[in-house]
Amino acid sequence: MHEYGRSCPLPITSCRRIGQWRELWAKRIDQMEAFWANMMAAGPASPFDRLFLESFPYYLGLAENAVQYVADTELDDEPLRVDYAAFCHERLPQAGWVEGTEAKLPLDWVYDHCARDLAEWVRHLYNKRGLGCQRVVRQFFQDYGHLAPLSSFAWRLVYARLLFPLPYFECIEAYYTTADREEQARQERALRKLLDASREYEQFLASFAETAGIANHIRLPAVEWLPPAP
């Protein structure tokens, strides 16, 4: 799917996302930071509000690290052919066909860097297996690399996307955009689970190069505040 997208001869504009991550993430960060500041001024009205108020500065820092990582990658590294825009999923693994259903709706696709899909699939594997995902993540990248070896530029974008705390943003947004009590309760459980696992996810990020099997030939710039890789 990615390879077909890289060779697409048609101009694609309305669903184009490549090169826009920094701007889109920064907008999302600004919106949530403004919402958080207003709630800080008003004070929490629910347990979820309190969790949000206490946790947002941490995830704000993580998100800003991700934005800076993309900026540094674009300045420091050179894209290769594998870095051409490709057909990607708006959001993996929510595409139903991934689990075996053969419905592939183009409305669920965007034109973006392959790192979008790769990072979201790795995030999915981590969510299923935690730190025990190392073997399957490494095999996944080996299989992909047989068809399209990733450049240093691509690896850095994969890592930047894993840095960006998308599950946290989605959880907060889902809670505050629904009036359904059951859905709010589900999002509160999801947020508590995220917060409880934050230290473990830091370990995953710190050891990602080793997990992906690239530590010996690709240099991923370190995020200084993360714990040293085990």
Summarize pLDDT for 40-51 with one digit per residue, the tens: 999 999 999 999
| Mean pLDDT score of the chain | 89
With respect to residue 217, please indicate whether it lies within any of the assigned structural domains. no
Mind listing the pLDDT tens digit for each residue in 142-192?
Answer: 999 998 999 999 999 999 999 999 999 999 999 999 999 999 999 999 999
pLDDT-based confidence at residue 100 (cuts at 50, 70, 90) = low
Check: CB of residue 114 under 8 Å from CB of residue 147: no
Per-residue model confidence (pLDDT) at position 66: 97
Per-residue model confidence (pLDDT) at position 86: 85
Domain count, the chain: 1
Helix (H) / strand (E) containing 87: strand 86-89
CATH of the domain at 39: 3.90.1200.10
With respect to residue 225, please indicate whether it lies within any of the assigned structural domains. no
With respect to residue 224, please indicate whether it lies within any of the assigned structural domains. no
Please name the residues in contact with 125: beta carbons below 8 A apart, sequence gap of 6 or more: 133, 136, 137, 140
Check: CB of residue 82 under 8 Å from CB of residue 7: no
With respect to residue 223, please indicate whether it lies within any of the assigned structural domains. no
Per-residue model confidence (pLDDT) at position 17: 57
Q: Structural domain of residue 198, as residue ranges?
A: 2-212
* pLDDT exceeds cutoff 90 at 52: yes
Per-residue model confidence (pLDDT) at position 20: 84
* pLDDT exceeds cutoff 70 at 60: yes
